Structure 1
Amino acid sequence: MKIIIAGAGEVGFHLAKLLSYESQEITLIDTNKESLNYADNHLDIKVIKGDATSIAILKDAKIESSDLLIAVTSSETTNITVCVLSKQLGANRTIARISNTELINHKDEIGFTKLGIDELISPESLAASEIELLLNQSAFNDSYEFEEGALTMVGLSLSRTAAFVGKTVKEAAKIFPEIHFVPIAIQRFGTQYTIIPRGDTQFKEGDNVVFITSEGGGQELCTLTGKINTEIRNVMILGGSKIGYKTARDLSKVYNNVKLIEKDKDRAFDLADELSDVLVINGDGRNVDLLDEESLKDMDAFIAVTGNSETNIMSCLVAKSKGVRKTIALVENMDYFELSHSIGIDTLINKKLLAANNIFRYIRKGEVIAMTRLNNMNAELLEFQVKPTSKICNKLIKDVDFPRSAIIGGIIRNGKGHIALGDFKIGVADKVVVCCLPRSIKQVEKLFL
């Protein structure tokens, strides 16, 4: 697949890095020589120095034969312009990164596809949505919804008291037959290996396990693992960035007591004017005395989304020490993901990863509707739509030649989620959620073509 990426910033570089690992033909365009040199030296891609709004530069990148153009510069206007030009010059599909979520909310009304833009993404908006979902599923450290919650992916660490620790998947299924969840990925404590569970796979204390749940499955998991899905009432947000603003705005519609701490005085006053239902505090969130004054210990959730990863991590650790149940930190460094559980923070989120997940479904073959990469695991979760021509169509799951390093987590039929076992027959228009390791992706894709 021939992919052109405009913008070698953090999102563009991360996308180029992930895509180059998959042997895609990548061209990266940017005006910053230093960023391009770094990408050229570290990745197997082609780089072009220049303005992506230049027709000559786009032609040099062979835009007319490209399968996908992704515009992710820091300028919303530039991204929209690049997509419009690229579509006119022959690009098959275009994606623009934007920061103004109003554009996403009114995309059908404006008709962006007629202008030449197939998809709009906002990393900040994706991060705010992720935070809201994590608070709704407060017992879990990772969460993702398919088809507005028909199926939900949740992740948690197994404590010694969890009902199925020491049992195999098959043994657990016999003891708890009427369940609405299924394990799809396991990471053993202290390792970096991702296991796709089979019947003989044993659950162990400290395992980080990802489940797919249908309606009621989340509560069943809480009961069996001893986790508590705390009702969130009081939320404190550190940082008045775009993510902080969007998170505070959205959460204030759901929760009564939302506080936002912003260090910059002018920014704090602006936020206070715009967020009438949020208590905005001008102060340094690294100051423990300030956090104590603002009743940190009474908070149900603490969300740190400043521009500094270390500040976010340290302030979340302070919140944990004060007894706050749910902590979420925004981090830029992907290496920090491996530390999240060992250092005691519930969830780390990363804009680059969220944006890449959103874009990746356009690269996958077959009718991919949604896709996410599992946090700190080497696995992907994909939602495929079954076509009449799909090899998997009209077959029982147990009769499908499915790779060992992949598993069907659930099926959505007519808007209802099902935890599907071997005797479930897959039909046309079913939406199938699959978890797979990278080595089996191509094999899985072929089943849905």
Structure 2
Amino acid sequence: MYIIIVGAGEVGGYLARILIEERHDVAIIEANEDLCRDLDATLDALIIPGNGISRDALVRAGIDRADLLLAVTEIDEVNMITCMAAEKLGKQDLRTVARVRESGYLAGDGGTISTTDLGLDLLIGPEQAVASKVVELLHYEGTGEITHLANDQIVLLELPLTADSPMVHESLSNLRPDLPSPSLVAAVRGAKGLRIPGGDDTLAVDERAYVITTPENIDEFLIMSGNPWHHVKHVLIVGCGNIGYHVASQLEQQRIFPTIVERDHTRAEKVAKHLKHSIVLHGDGTDHDLMREQLEEASDAVVVLVEDDEKAMIIGLFAKHLGAKKVIVRSDQLDYTPIAHKMGLDALISPRRAVADAILRFVRRGPIASTVMLGDHEAEIIELNVPVSPKNEALIRSPLKEMTFPEGALLGAIVRNGRTTIPTGDTILEPGDRLLVVSLLDAIAGVEDLLQ
């Protein structure tokens, strides 16, 4: 697929690397010439210095042959206008995606503008989705992340393993009878990166296990991970931009009334007017006296959502030092993840990753229903349906042990008629089955080809 990305900031640069790794042809339009030179030296992509609104830049990028255009600059209006210009210049089946941060542009979020109104294929505003994930993580202290899949019939748990966990120092084959059923340890992230484990693999303290299971097993897995947990009652939010506002709003709906620390006085006043039950303080999360005062009264959980990654990490670490039981930090620097976990931070939330997830789902339409990135995009969980197609006759007539499954990929779970099972070599797939496949990056294309 030939893809044009407009805007090579955090989101655009990250997407470019992912899509190039997956063997798509990529062109990038970027206004910052210094950044263009850096990209030209590091990426196998066509780099066009310029503005996405410019007809000349779009033409030089090859808009006439593009299959997909992703407008992901920091300015909503530029993204939408770029997509509309591309629709005029591109081929008839060109698909366009605009990233928007202002929720008023999203018809499904109380806004008035739809993709149909603008002639676009997709408007992506990840803030509410990120906020929902934060709120869910607050309720489960022992997890790094929780992702719902297959219409909420399956969950993917990221479990930090402590010395108190019965899951460590035991081979997975020996451990399997003691795990809640159905479940599968689909991937493990340790000091050497992410791996898809085999039966002889042994889990270690401080590693993170990615477990596929069903919602009713969440509590039992939290206990098995060795992480104590309790119901969150007191939440401190540091930084109240769009994501912080949505987190506070969702918590209020659950009758949890957070305290908010916001540095910008105008923003603090605006938030205070709209959140009827939260306490909004004008202050800075780096003010140690302020943080100490807030956490002395209650220290269930701290959510740090300031947009400066390094500052957010420092605030999160200080909150942990002051006794916060759970600390969630906004960070788009995924390289920080192993260090953050080592230093006691419970979870890093990345809006950039949320955008990438949404766009990848759109790029891979067809049998693929959703994708979830693991680690620093070292692997993915792919949720897909077995299509009803003559091409799949051989696929659905043979047991899995007779299939040539791509190396580096693992079939993790099957949902059939509302029932979740962990497949064995004797399992035979049926049309309409919903599958969860764990795949390293270089095996994704093979998985897609197998199940087209």
Same fold (TM over 0.5): yes
1:316 deviates by 1.4
Q: Which one of 162, 173, 176 corresponds to residue 173 of structure 1?
A: 176
Give SS of 2:227's match. Answer: coil
C-alpha distance in 2, partners of 1:447/1:331? 35
2:337 corresponds to which residue?
A: 337
C-alpha distance in 1, partners of 2:155/2:72? 29
Mapping of residues 193-212 of structure 1, within 5 Å? 193-212=193-212
C-alpha distance in 2, partners of 1:7/1:373? 22
Give SS of 1:164's match. Answer: coil
Task: Give the aligned residue type for 1:137.
Answer: Y
Task: Give the aligned residue type for 1:244.
Answer: G
1:276 corresponds to which residue?
A: 276
Give SS of 1:412's match. Answer: strand
1:108 deviates by 11
C-alpha distance in 1, partners of 2:404/2:316? 45
Give SS of 2:163's match. Answer: coil
Contact 2:150 2:383 in 1 (8 A): no
C-alpha distance in 1, partners of 2:112/2:300? 38
C-alpha distance in 1, partners of 2:193/2:310? 26
Q: Which one of 183, 188, 207 corresponds to residue 185 of structure 2?
A: 183
1:155 deviates by 0.9
Mapping of residues 310-389 of structure 1, within 5 Å? 310-364=310-364, 367-376=367-376, 378-389=378-389
1:421 deviates by 3.8
Task: Give the aligned residue type for 2:435.
Answer: V
2:99 corresponds to which residue?
A: 97
1:365 deviates by 7.3
2:437 corresponds to which residue?
A: 434
- Residues 261 and 110 of structure 1: CA distance in aligned 2, closer, same or farther (over 3 Å): closer
2:405 corresponds to which residue?
A: 402
1:74 deviates by 1.5
C-alpha distance in 2, partners of 1:331/1:349? 6
C-alpha distance in 1, partners of 2:316/2:423? 38
C-alpha distance in 1, partners of 2:254/2:110? 25
2:132 corresponds to which residue?
A: 129
Mapping of residues 244-259 of structure 1, within 5 Å? 244-259=244-259
C-alpha distance in 2, partners of 1:397/1:300? 46
1:107 deviates by 9.4
Deviations 1:2-23 (A, max 9, x none): 0001112221122122222333
Q: Select between 17-26 and 236-245 the one with higher mean Cα deviation.
A: 17-26
1:447 corresponds to which residue?
A: 450
Q: Select between 417-426 and 312-321 the one with higher mean Cα deviation.
A: 417-426
C-alpha distance in 1, partners of 2:109/2:332? 30
C-alpha distance in 2, partners of 1:217/1:424? 23
1:306 corresponds to which residue?
A: 306
- Residues 255 and 401 of structure 1: CA distance in aligned 2, closer, same or farther (over 3 Å): farther
C-alpha distance in 2, partners of 1:217/1:179? 8
Q: Select between 412-421 and 140-149 the one with higher mean Cα deviation.
A: 412-421
Q: Select between 334-343 and 30-39 the one with higher mean Cα deviation.
A: 30-39
- Residues 147 and 276 of structure 1: CA distance in aligned 2, closer, same or farther (over 3 Å): farther
Task: Give the aligned residue type for 2:432.
Answer: A
Contact 2:411 2:437 in 1 (8 A): yes
The TM-score, its normalising length taken from structure 2, stands at 0.91
Contact 2:22 2:442 in 1 (8 A): no
1:26 deviates by 1.1
- Residues 114 and 307 of structure 1: CA distance in aligned 2, closer, same or farther (over 3 Å): closer
Contact 2:97 2:121 in 1 (8 A): yes
Unaligned runs of 5+ in 2: none
Q: Select between 339-348 and 420-429 the one with higher mean Cα deviation.
A: 420-429
C-alpha distance in 2, partners of 1:339/1:51? 37
Mapping of residues 281-300 of structure 1, within 5 Å? 281-296=281-296, 298-300=298-300
Deviations 1:196-245 (A, max 9, x none): 12222222333211101113121221233333342122111101222222
Give SS of 1:361's match. Answer: helix
Contact 1:147 1:415 in 2 (8 A): no
C-alpha distance in 2, partners of 1:152/1:365? 21
2:213 corresponds to which residue?
A: 213
Q: Select between 425-434 and 112-121 the one with higher mean Cα deviation.
A: 112-121
Contact 1:366 1:445 in 2 (8 A): no
- Percent identity between the two aligned chains: 29
Task: Please provide the CA RMSD for this pair.
Answer: 2.5
1:447 deviates by 1.6
Give SS of 1:170's match. Answer: helix
- Residues 358 and 162 of structure 1: CA distance in aligned 2, closer, same or farther (over 3 Å): same
C-alpha distance in 2, partners of 1:317/1:107? 36
- Residues 329 and 111 of structure 1: CA distance in aligned 2, closer, same or farther (over 3 Å): closer
1:110 deviates by 5.5
Q: Select between 327-336 and 260-269 the one with higher mean Cα deviation.
A: 327-336
1:159 corresponds to which residue?
A: 162
Contact 2:295 2:324 in 1 (8 A): no
Asked if 1:141 is matched to 2:136, the reply is no
Give SS of 2:272's match. Answer: helix
- Residues 143 and 11 of structure 1: CA distance in aligned 2, closer, same or farther (over 3 Å): same
C-alpha distance in 1, partners of 2:22/2:184? 29
Contact 1:214 1:418 in 2 (8 A): no
Task: Give the aligned residue type for 1:168.
Answer: S
C-alpha distance in 2, partners of 1:244/1:148? 26
Deviations 1:394-429 (A, max 9, x none): 544444322342222222334554444444432222
2:239 corresponds to which residue?
A: 239
1:116 deviates by 2.8
C-alpha distance in 1, partners of 2:301/2:17? 33
The TM-score, its normalising length taken from structure 1, stands at 0.91
1:371 deviates by 0.9
- Residues 56 and 225 of structure 1: CA distance in aligned 2, closer, same or farther (over 3 Å): closer
- Residues 223 and 427 of structure 1: CA distance in aligned 2, closer, same or farther (over 3 Å): same
- Residues 354 and 428 of structure 1: CA distance in aligned 2, closer, same or farther (over 3 Å): same
Contact 2:150 2:434 in 1 (8 A): no
Task: Give the aligned residue type for 2:306.
Answer: T
Task: Give the aligned residue type for 2:223.
Answer: T
1:179 deviates by 1.7
1:366 deviates by 5.3
Give SS of 2:396's match. Answer: coil
1:18 corresponds to which residue?
A: 18
C-alpha distance in 2, partners of 1:413/1:316? 42
Contact 2:160 2:225 in 1 (8 A): no
Unaligned runs of 5+ in 1: none
